[in-house]
Structure 1
Amino acid sequence: MLGSLVRFLLRIIYRVELRGREHYDAAGPRTLILYNPGSIIDPLLLAAMLPHRIALLADRALEHKWWMRPICALTDTQFFDFSSPAATVSLVHALARNGRCMVFHSGSLGNDPRYIRILEAAGVIAERANATLLPVRIDGATSSMFSYLRHKGRRRWFPRITVSVLEPQRLRPHAELPPRERRRRMGERLYDIMTELEYRSGMERRNLMQALMEAVALSGRRFPIAEDQDRHVLTYGALLLKLSVLGRAFRRLFRGERVVGFLLPTSLPGLVAFFGLHAAGFSPAMLNFTSGVASVVSCCRTVKLTSVLTSRRFLALADLTAMEQALKDAGLRVLYLEDVAKKLTIGDKILGALAAWLRLAPSTSPDDPAAVMFTSGTEGVPKAVLLSHVNIIANRYQALSMLTIGSGDKLFNCLPMFHAFGLGICTLLPVLAGVRVFLYPSPLHYRIVPRLFYESQSTIICGTDTFCAGYARYGQPYDFCHARLVIIGAEKMRESTRRVWLDKFGVDLFEGYGATETAPLISVNTPAYRREGSVGRAVPGLACRLQPVPGIDEENTGVLWVKGDNVMLGYMRSVAPGVLEPPVDEDLAAIFAESGEGDDGSGWYETGDIVHMDDEGFIFIRGRAKRFAKIGGEMVSLAAVEEALREIWPESVLGVVAMPDPRKGEQLALVIDTENVTTSRIAAHFASRGLSPLWTPKRIVSVKQAPLLGSGKFDYRKARELAEKG
Structure 2
Amino acid sequence: MELLPVDTYLIILIVLIALLVIAILLAVFSPRLFVRGLFRPVLATFYRKRVVGLEKFPKEGGCLLVSNHMSWIDGILILWALPRNVRFVVDGSNFTSKIGDYLGRAFDTIFMMGGPKSIGRAIRDAREGLNKGDVVGIFPEGTITRTGQLQAFRPGMSKILKNTDAKVVPVHLEGMWGSIFSFSGGKYFWKWPDKFRRTITVYVGDPLPADTPISTVRGKVQALGSQAQIDHRREFPVLARQVLRVWRRRGKRLQAADTLGTEVGGRKLLINTLALRRCLHREVFSKDEQFIGVLLPPSVGAVAVNVALAADRRVSANLNYTVSSEVMNHCIHDVGIKHVLTSDRFLEKIDVELDAEIVSLDKLKEKVSLADKVIAALQATIVPSWLLDRILGLNKIQSDDLLTVIFTSGSTGMPKGVLLSNANVSHNVDAVNRAIRLTTEDVVIGVLPFFHSFGYAVTLWAAQTLGPAGVYHFNPLDSKQIGKLAEKYKATVLLGTPTFMRGYLRRITPEQFKTLNVAVVGAEKMPADLFDAFEKRFGVRPVEGYGTTEMSPLVSVNIPPSRSAAKFQPDRVEGSVGRPLPGISARIVSPDDGTELDANEDGMLLVTGPNVMRGYANRDDLTQSAVIDGWYTTGDIAHIDNDGFLHITGRLSRFSKIAGEMVPHVRIEEELGKLLSEGEDDDQVRVCVTAVPCDRKGERIIVLHLPTSQIPDALREGLKEAGLANLFIPAADSFFEVDQIPLLGTGKLDLKGARDRASELTLASC
TM-score bracket, normalised by the shorter chain, equals 0.7 to 0.9
Quote the Cα distance in structure 2 between the aligned partners of 1:543 and 1:103.
21
Tell me, yes or no, if the aligned pair for 2:66 and 2:169 is still in contact at 8 Å. Answer: yes
Instruction: In structure 1, give the amino acid aligned to 2:472.
Output: Y
Q: What is the Cα deviation at residue 713 of structure 1?
A: 0.7
TM-superposition CA deviations, 1:489-510 (whole Å, max 9, x none): 2223323323434555565555
In the other structure, the counterpart of 1:494 is 527
User: How has the CA–CA distance of structure 1 residues 17 and 642 changed in structure 2, closer, same or farther, with 3 Å as cutoff?
Assistant: same
What do the CA deviations read for 1:691-719 (whole angstroms, capped 9, x no partner)? 3564446454354x755322121235666
Per-residue deviation, 1:93: 4.7
Which residue is equivalent to 2:743? 708
The alpha-carbon distance between structure 1 residues 665 and 474, as it changes in their structure 2 partners (threshold 3 A), is: same
Deviations 1:148-192 (A, max 9, x none): 6365997348623222111156565559xxxxxxxxx63x45643
Alignment match of 1:155 (pick from 186, 192, 195): 192
Residue type of the partner of 2:357?
Answer: L
| Cα shift readout 1:638-665 (whole Å, capped 9, x = no counterpart) | 4443233123135651224557999999
Give aligned pairs, total: 676
- Letter of the 1:85 partner, please give it: P
Deviation track 1:375-401 (CA, whole Å, cap 9, x = no partner) reads: 22334443333333454356567x569
CA distance in 2, matches of 1:116, 1:668: 39
Aligned partner (choices 183, 187, 203) of residue 166 of structure 1 = 203
Note if 1:583 corresponds to 2:583. no
Q: CA deviation at 1:320?
A: 3.5
Shift of 1:276: 2.1
Aligned match of 2:28: none
1:556 and 1:613 in contact (8 A); partners too:
yes
The range that moved more, 415-424 or 226-235, is 226-235
For the Cα contact (< 8 Å) 1:139–1:161, is it kept in 2?
A: yes
User: Aligned-pair distance for 1:370?
Assistant: 2.5
Note if contact 2:591-2:603 (Cα within 8 Å) is conserved in structure 1: yes
> Is 2:688 the counterpart of 1:655?
yes
Match for 2:315 among 277, 283, 288? 283
RMSD: 5.2
Residue 300 (1) aligns with residue 332 (2): yes
Quickly say closer, same or farther: Cα 1:585–1:504, change in 2 above 3 A.
Answer: same
Q: 1:644 aligns with which of 662, 671, 689?
A: 671
In structure 2, what is the Cα distance between the partners aligned to 1:642 and 1:322? 34
CA distance in 2, matches of 1:490, 1:244: 34
Q: Would the aligned equivalents of 1:545 and 1:560 in 2 still touch at CA under 8 Å?
A: yes
Cα shift readout 1:339-375 (whole Å, capped 9, x = no counterpart): 3582436556656774744344253454443222222
TM-score (norm: length of structure 1): 0.73
> What are the ranges of 5 or more consecutive residues in structure 1 without an aligned counterpart?
176-184, 550-554, 573-578, 589-598
Give the CA deviation at 1:260.
0.3
Structure 2 portions without partners, runs of 5+: 1-33, 560-568, 594-599, 678-682
2:364 paired with 1:333: no
Question: Deviation at 1:139?
Answer: 1.8
* Secondary structure of the corresponding residue to residue 340 of structure 2: strand
Give deviations 1:58-106, integer Å, cap 9, x for gaps.
5455457899699769866676444x22332233355455855566999
Three-state SS of the structure 2 residue aligned to 1:386 is: strand
1:669-689 deviation digits (Å, cap 9, x = unpaired): 654456434324223324545
Q: What is the TM-score normalised by the length of structure 2? A: 0.70
Give, as a single letter, the amino acid of the residue that structure 2 aligns with 1:625. Answer: S
SS of corresponding position for 2:359: strand
Structure 1 letter corresponding to 2:298: T
Shift of 1:287: 0.6
Q: Structure 1 residues 535, 93: CA separation in 2 closer, same or farther (over 3 Å shift)?
A: same
Structure 2 letter corresponding to 1:255: S
State how far apart, in whole Å, the 2-side matches of 1:39 and 1:63 are: 16
> C-alpha distance in 2, partners of 1:238/1:108?
41
What does 1:125-524 correspond to in 2, within 5 Å? 125=160, 130=166, 132-133=168-169, 135-140=171-176, 142-144=178-180, 149=185, 155-156=192-193, 159-168=196-205, 173=210, 186=214, 188-189=215-216, 191-203=218-230, 204-206=232-234, 210=238, 213=241, 221=249, 227-228=256-257, 246-252=276-282, 253-256=284-287, 257-312=289-344, 316=345, 319-323=346-350, 326-327=353-354, 330-336=355-361, 339-340=364-365, 342-343=368-369, 344=372, 346=374, 354=383, 356-358=385-387, 359-360=389-390, 361-393=394-426, 404-407=435-438, 410=442, 412-429=445-462, 434=466, 436=468, 438-441=470-473, 442-447=475-480, 449=482, 461-475=494-508, 486-501=519-534, 504=537, 509-521=542-554
> What is the alpha-carbon distance in structure 2 between the residues aligned to residue 2 and residue 606 of structure 1?
48
Conserved in 1, the CA contact under 8 Å of 2:654 and 2:665? no
**Partners in 1 of 2:218 and 2:493 — Cα distance?**
23
Which residue of 2 is the match for residue 625 of structure 1? 653
Tell me the residue number matched to 1:22: 54
The percentage of aligned residue pairs carrying the same residue is: 24
Contact 1:629–1:638 (Cα < 8 Å) also in 2: no
Q: Is the 8 A contact 1:548 1:558 kept in 2?
A: no
Are the equivalent residues in 2 in contact too, given 1:144–1:150 (CA < 8 A)?
Answer: no
* Residues 420 and 519, structure 1, Cα contact 8 Å, conserved in 2: yes
The range that moved more, 104-113 or 678-687, is: 104-113
- SS at structure 1 position matched to 2:437: coil
Rg larger in structure: 2
CA contact (8 A) 2:588 2:603 kept: no
